[in-house]
Structure 1
Amino acid sequence: MEDTKIAVGVSYVVKIDGEQLGEFSSCDGLGVEVVMESREEGGNNSFVWQLPTRLKFPNVKLSRPVGSGTSQPILAWISKAPNITPSTAVIEAQNAIGEKIAGWQLSQVVPVRWSGPSLTPDQPKVLTETLELAHHGISGE
Structure 2
Amino acid sequence: MSGEYFEGGYPPPAFYFTVTIGDGMQVPDASFSEVSGISIEMETEAVVEGGENRFVHQLPKSIKHPNLELKRGLTTLSSPLVKWCKDTLEGAFIKPIEPKTIVVKLNGAEGEVLRAWALIGAYPVKWDVEGFNATKNEVAIEKMTFAYTYSKRSK
The TM-score bracket by the shorter chain reads 0.7 to 0.9
1:106 counterpart = 2:119: yes
Please identify, of 5-14 and 87-96, the stretch whose mean Cα deviation from structure 2 is larger: 5-14
Name the structure 2 match of 1:72: 79
Give the C-alpha shift of residue 101 in structure 1: 2.3
Residues 11 and 26 in structure 1, CA contact (< 8 A), matched pair in contact too? no
Query: TM-score, structure 2 length as denominator?
Result: 0.76
Please identify, of 55-64 and 112-121, the stretch whose mean Cα deviation from structure 2 is larger: 112-121
Give the alignment partner of residue 38 of structure 1, picking from 46, 52, 55.
Answer: 46
For the residues of structure 2 that align with 1:97 and 1:134, how far apart are their CA atoms? 31
Residues 46 and 57 in structure 2, CA contact (< 8 A), matched pair in contact too? yes
For the residues of structure 1 that align with 2:55 and 2:148, how far apart are their CA atoms? 35
For the residues of structure 2 that align with 1:11 and 1:70, how far apart are their CA atoms? 24
For the residues of structure 2 that align with 1:12 and 1:134, how far apart are their CA atoms? 19
For the residues of structure 2 that align with 1:117 and 1:71, how far apart are their CA atoms? 20
SS in 2 for 1:78: helix
- 1:1-141 paired onto structure 2 within 5 Å: 2-4=5-7, 6-21=12-27, 22-66=30-74, 69=76, 72-81=79-88, 82=93, 83-95=96-108, 97-116=110-129, 118-141=131-154
Relative contact order (C-alpha < 8 Å, sep 6+): which is higher?
1
For the residues of structure 2 that align with 1:123 and 1:92, how far apart are their CA atoms? 32
Q: Deviations over 1:68-118 (max 9, x none)?
A: x59712211123323222222211122455332211011111101222354
Across the aligned residues of Structure 1 and Structure 2, the Cα RMSD in angstroms comes to 2.4
For the residues of structure 2 that align with 1:66 and 1:86, how far apart are their CA atoms? 23
Residues 32 and 71 in structure 2, CA contact (< 8 A), matched pair in contact too? yes
**Which ranges in structure 1 are unaligned for 5 or more consecutive residues?**
none
For the residues of structure 2 that align with 1:30 and 1:72, how far apart are their CA atoms? 24
**Which ranges in structure 2 are unaligned for 5 or more consecutive residues?**
none
SS in 2 for 1:88: strand
Identity level (%): 29
| Greater strand share, structure number | 1
AA aligned opposite 2:43: V
